[in-house]
Amino acid sequence: ELKVEQNPLFLSMQEGKNYTIYCNYSTTSDRLYWYRQDPGKSLESLFVLLSNGAVKQEGRLMASLDTKARLSTLHITAAVHDLSATYFCAVDPSPSGGSNYKLTFGKGTLLTVNP
Amino acid sequence: NAGVMQNPRHLVRRRGQEARLRCSPMKGHSHVYWYRQLPEEGLKFMVYLQKENIIDESGMPKERFSAEFPKEGPSILRIQQVVRGDSAAYFCASSPFQGGRNTIYFGEGSWLTVV
């Protein structure tokens, strides 16, 4: 059974600081997704990482994927309050070209950015 | 362009009652997926449907849960004789195609509370 572990699960940081959220997974996959969820809201797709070494950046967030290490990181640069949310990584364990729906999610990282 | 629409957003049921959750996919999407998010957990895949067909129900509990996506109308997730452990957020997602690198889009969820 595929396991996806995120850490930390809770992250409280000050505005302006940098931090990294880690996502480890237990089986081979070359597709990993990062989502953001605000309280009571849906999941917003942030990044789709589709190959080893993939790096994507959007604003203050940068995500990377190392399929050999089975590790993805979500790096936050100069955090601002608006980034406060829960961040999930999700892994698609099916072979490339296969399913894109049977995602296995981590438990999420609750990020709180304090002024 | 409306996103994935779910209703009701919040539902309270007493133990033993039935819960029906509805999902209308994004326009042009014919693939629907249901996920469940238990408290402090990541989302877990339940079922994948196309119009009038259940494609993959490997994540559905064996009893009391059923799903359909009729030719006309929304997809419905039905939970019979609800128990406290069914309290969760139920997310519907949709995509225009299945497989490959297509992102799936999530609705805002239906929060079920069983009292």
- pLDDT tens track for A58-86: 999 999 999 999 999 999 999 999 999 99
| Percentage, residues of chain B above pLDDT 90 | 75
Count CB-CB contacts under 10 A for residue B101: 12
What is the mean pLDDT of the segment spanning B86-105? 82
d(CA A45, CA A36): 7
Question: Which chain A residues have any C-beta within 8 angstroms of a chain B C-beta?
Answer: 4, 31, 33, 35, 40-43, 45, 48, 50, 88, 90, 97-108
Nearest CA in chain B to A102: B45
Find all residues with CB under 8 Å of A105, minimum gap 6, and list them: A4, A88, A89, A90, B42, B43, B44
Nearest to B100 among A41, A45, A97 (CB): A97
**What residue in B sits closest to A47 (Cα-Cα)?**
B103
Question: Which of B44, B99, B106 is facing A42, going by the closest CB pair?
Answer: B106
Q: Sort out which chain A residues have CB atoms less than 8 A from B25's CB and list them.
A: none
Q: Among candidates B84, B85, B67, which has minimal Cα distance to B76?
A: B67
B97: three-class secondary structure by DSSP: coil
Q: Determine the pLDDT at residue A11.
A: 94
A1, A34, A101, best to mutate vs chain B, most B CBs in 10 Å? A101
d(CA B24, CA B67): 13
Residue B30, CB half-sphere, CA atoms under 13 Å: how many? 10
Over the stretch A30-45, which tens digit does the pLDDT of each residue have? 789 999 999 888 889 9
Q: What is the pLDDT of residue A99?
A: 65
